[in-house]
Structure 1
Amino acid sequence: MLRYTLMRLGIFAGCLVVVWGLVYSGLAPRGLGDSNGLWVVLLALLISAPISFVVLRKERDRASERIVQRVDRVKANLEANRKQEDDVDDAARAQGTVS
């Protein structure tokens, strides 16, 4: 997941540099008044999102698989704990010690 995040940030940083260069060279429109910095960041976000979606598809799928594996492992551990508690409770009920 960290690798995917760093790759996504790298694409955004690259887009930010390109957009900043285009805006300050006059090839892209400037923002209104003092909003130029915000304009550059928003435009870079808008451009980097679809690029990341296409370019990082395989990495995103790998990260998703790792997350699913972790969730499944946690679910299995919770179920094992629940079964263990149920077994102890059933044994106590069979002996008549639970009120």
Structure 2
Amino acid sequence: MLRYTLMRLGIFAGCLVVVWGLVYSGLAPRGLGDSNGMWIIMLALVISAPISFVVLRKERDRASVGIVQRVDRMKANLDANRSQEDSVDDTAQAQGQAS
């Protein structure tokens, strides 16, 4: 997951540099008033999102498999804990009824 995040940040940083260069060279429009920095960041986000979606498909699939495995492991641990609590509760109830 960290690898995917770093790759995504790298693509964004690359787009940010390109957009910054285009805006300051006059090839892309500047923002209104003092919003130039925000304009550059927003434009870089809009451009980097579809690039990341296409380029990082395999890495995203690999990260999602890792997340699914982690969730399944956590569910199994919860079920094991729940069954232990149920058996302890059943034992306590049986001892309470026997008294």
When normalised by structure 2's length, the TM-score is 0.93
Q: Which residue of 2 aligns with 1:65?
A: 65
The unaligned stretches of length 5 or more in structure 1 are none
After superposition, the C-alpha distances for 1:20-49 in whole angstroms (9 at most, x for unaligned) are 011111111111111111111110000000
Q: How many residues align?
A: 99
Counterpart of 2:59, as a letter, is E
Counterpart of 1:80, as a letter, is A
Distance apart, 1:96 and its partner CA? 2.5
After superposition, the C-alpha distances for 1:49-79 in whole angstroms (9 at most, x for unaligned) are 0000110111111111111111110110010
Distance apart, 1:80 and its partner CA? 0.4
What does residue range 8-47 of structure 1 map to in structure 2 within 5 Å?
A: 8-47=8-47
The unaligned stretches of length 5 or more in structure 2 are none
Distance apart, 1:94 and its partner CA? 2.2
Give the aligned CA root-mean-square deviation in angstroms.
1.6
When normalised by structure 1's length, the TM-score is 0.93
Query: Structure 1: which 4+ aligned runs deviate by more than 6 Å?
Result: none
